[in-house]
Amino acid sequence: MSLQNPVFIPGPTNMPESLRRACDMPTIDHRSDLFKDILHPARDGVKRVLKSAVAEVFVFPSTGTGGWETAITNTLTPGDTVLAARNGMFSQKWIDMCQRHGLTVEIIETPWGEGIPTARFEEILTADTAHKIKAVLATHNETATGVRSDIAGVRRAMDAAKHPALLFVDGVSSIGSMPFEFDGWKIDVAVTGSQKGFMLPAGLGIAAFSPKAMAAVETGGLPRTYFDIRDMVKGYAINGYPYTPAVGLLNGLKTASEMLMEEGLDNVFARHTRIATGVRAAVQAWGLQLCAIRPDLYSDTVSAIRTPEGFDAGRIVSHASKRYGVAFGAGLGQVAGKVFRIGHLGSLTDVLMLSGLATAEMAMADLGLDIRLGSGVAAAQEVYRRTAAPVALAA
Ligand code: PLP
């Protein structure tokens, strides 16, 4: 018998059995009428999860990185300037992509562990009276540091500066798990992938465009073919794709959004907050610090935990994997070796989380860190006892 532990990496997440079944479907002809009953509900489902009445949703056989590329190549022109804060590995990679596409990036260096400096953004946008900046890039949830930035605050900064730039938001590790308001925050392009809040395997890159972003497609654009949404628009109009779609994953996406709506988005978000609060209580009980430097920055989908100076945090990840068959996330970039990450998003319950915390404790104790077995688990148990919400048992 092959047994499998849950994973505690910040995506791909654990997969509910119903989604595994939804992806595992017989081949259909994607040019037949059968496909439209998968394609359109999947796109509409994403729109509901984004809380949008206006977004045009595009789904590529790709990943979140393809979503970034879709955002920039469809709306910007070579030489355009974009504004971005660099506060973690993912904001860094999006900046790098922009530079490699010939865009000029006004980079606001921000400590890893901090969020997007909205006041600084407002100053810069206010000073940009010539409107050189064409887009503001915002990573909602920095998966490398466990930092949630204030996207409503970024929008307020743009409005206060009366700046017409487009607002692009990376919601790869927040959409479907943490409050996200496409219309409310007046987002122009939101990007995600299938393997986080939607609890599917990796393989879909998702980008949602506002009417303003759709208008920019008419006048702008970098060289693009695969990610050209104009081809996608034409394909969708005749219930198809400009190339071969990932039908099984799209069927999974349709089912995933139905599942999220059935649980209720507010309940999904509350579950993530509750589970994350338990993890944070455990971290405190262990006497360790989060990479995120203030409570208002704490992510509800991933916690990056600093280990004592001189201790290689990567050892926890490899030891837990080898000895206990449990996956945690390693530190990335600037914080490699300094943090390990516990992913707590997607298909997860309080009880599963307790097993992850217990494993982290065993691994840290095995490696000689001063951790009392049960201390973090007990702290999380107290949170979960206080806030328990009944979980429907799967049939
Ligand atoms: N943005 C964030 C915040 C992420 O966490 C990730 C991946 O983990 C990406 C972008 C890149 O997405 P992908 O790996 O699906 O290409």
Ligand 1 neighbour 87 (Cβ under 6 A): no
Q: In angstroms, rounded to a whole number, what is the distance separating the alpha carbons of residues 361 and 178?
A: 27
pLDDT the model gives residue 214: 98
- The amino acid that residue 166 corresponds to is L
Percent of the chain scoring above 70 in pLDDT? 99
Residue nearest to atom 4 of ligand 1 (CA): 172
Strands 133-139 and 81-86: parallel
pLDDT in tens, 270-328: 999 999 999 999 999 999 999 999 999 999 999 999 999 999 999 999 999 999 999 99
pLDDT in tens, 223-274: 999 999 999 999 999 999 999 999 999 999 999 999 999 999 999 999 999 9
Ligand 1 neighbour 11 (Cβ under 6 A): yes
End-to-end CA distance of the chain: 22
Cα-to-centroid distance, 265 and ligand 1 (Å): 22
Please state, as a whole number, how many other Cβ atoms lie within 10 Å of the Cβ of residue 295: 8
pLDDT the model gives residue 187: 99
Q: Provide the mean pLDDT of the chain.
A: 97
Ligand 1 neighbour 143 (Cβ under 6 A): yes
Set out the domains of the chain in order of their start, with CATH numbers: 17-262 (3.40.640.10), 264-387 (3.90.1150.10)
Cα-to-centroid distance, 392 and ligand 1 (Å): 30
pLDDT the model gives residue 1: 74
Tell me what the mean pLDDT of segment 170-186 comes to.
98
**148 within 8 A of 114, measured Cβ to Cβ:** no
Residue nearest to atom 13 of ligand 1 (CA): 64
Q: How many residues does the chain have?
A: 395
From 178, 173, 164, 246, select the one nearest 210 (Cα to Cα).
164
Cα-to-centroid distance, 190 and ligand 1 (Å): 13
Beta-carbon contacts of 124 under 8 Å, excluding residues fewer than 6 positions away, are: 83, 106, 108, 133
Beta-carbon contacts of 327 under 8 Å, excluding residues fewer than 6 positions away, are: 5, 7, 8, 9, 317, 320, 321
Pocket test for ligand 1, best of 7, 60, 87, 90 (most atoms within 8 A of CB): 90
Q: In angstroms, rounded to a whole number, what is the distance separating the alpha carbons of residues 341 and 345?
A: 12
From 67, 9, 96, select the one nearest 192 (Cα to Cα).
67
pLDDT the model gives residue 389: 77
Banded model confidence at residue 392, pLDDT cuts 50, 70, 90? low
pLDDT in tens, 17-70: 999 999 999 999 999 999 999 999 999 999 999 999 999 999 999 999 999 999
Q: In angstroms, rounded to a whole number, what is the distance separating the alpha carbons of residues 316 and 322?
A: 10
Percent of the chain scoring above 90 in pLDDT? 96
Beta-carbon contacts of 170 under 8 Å, excluding residues fewer than 6 positions away, are: 64, 67, 68, 90, 91, 94, 137, 138, 139, 140, 141, 191
Cα-to-centroid distance, 110 and ligand 1 (Å): 19
Residue 294 three-state SS: coil
Residue burial 367-387, b: 16+ Cβ < 10 Å; e: rest: bebebeeebbbebbbebbeee
DSSP secondary structure, 233-282, as one string: HHHHHTTS-SS---HHHHHHHHHHHHHHHHH-HHHHHHHHHHHHHHHHHH
Banded model confidence at residue 182, pLDDT cuts 50, 70, 90? very high
Residue 152 three-state SS: helix
**221 within 8 A of 73, measured Cβ to Cβ:** yes
Ligand 1 atom, smallest distance to 143 CA: 5
**135 within 8 A of 76, measured Cβ to Cβ:** yes
Ligand 1 neighbour 203 (Cβ under 6 A): no
Angle at CA of residue 248, ends 247 and 251, nearest 5°: 85
> 61 — phi, psi (to 5°)?
-70, 95
Ligand 1 atom, smallest distance to 202 CA: 15
**142 within 8 A of 10, measured Cβ to Cβ:** no
Pocket test for ligand 1, best of 173, 189, 198, 302 (most atoms within 8 A of CB): 173
Ligand 1 neighbour 69 (Cβ under 6 A): no
**Residue entry with tokens 């999974």:** 252
Ligand 1 atom, smallest distance to 68 CA: 10
Cα-to-centroid distance, 364 and ligand 1 (Å): 27
Q: In the Cβ-directed half-sphere of 190, how many Cα atoms lie within 13 Å?
A: 30
Cα-to-centroid distance, 193 and ligand 1 (Å): 7
Tell me what the mean pLDDT of segment 213-224 comes to.
94
Cα-to-centroid distance, 94 and ligand 1 (Å): 10
- The amino acid that residue 95 corresponds to is I
Ligand 1 neighbour 177 (Cβ under 6 A): no
Ligand 1 neighbour 172 (Cβ under 6 A): yes
Beta-carbon contacts of 219 under 8 Å, excluding residues fewer than 6 positions away, are: none
Q: In angstroms, rounded to a whole number, what is the distance separating the alpha carbons of residues 198 and 46?
A: 9
**358 within 8 A of 377, measured Cβ to Cβ:** yes
pLDDT the model gives residue 395: 43
pLDDT the model gives residue 393: 58
Cα-to-centroid distance, 90 and ligand 1 (Å): 7
Cα-to-centroid distance, 195 and ligand 1 (Å): 9
Q: In angstroms, rounded to a whole number, what is the distance separating the alpha carbons of residues 91 and 95?
A: 6
Ligand 1 neighbour 90 (Cβ under 6 A): yes
**Residue entry with tokens 């107290």:** 382
Cα-to-centroid distance, 68 and ligand 1 (Å): 9
Banded model confidence at residue 3, pLDDT cuts 50, 70, 90? confident
Q: In angstroms, rounded to a whole number, what is the distance separating the alpha carbons of residues 331 and 338?
A: 7
pLDDT in tens, 91-131: 999 999 999 999 999 999 999 999 999 999 999 999 999 99
Cα-to-centroid distance, 202 and ligand 1 (Å): 10
pLDDT the model gives residue 394: 56
pLDDT in tens, 334-344: 999 999 999 99
pLDDT the model gives residue 244: 97
Residue nearest to atom 9 of ligand 1 (CA): 64
Residue nearest to atom 2 of ligand 1 (CA): 172
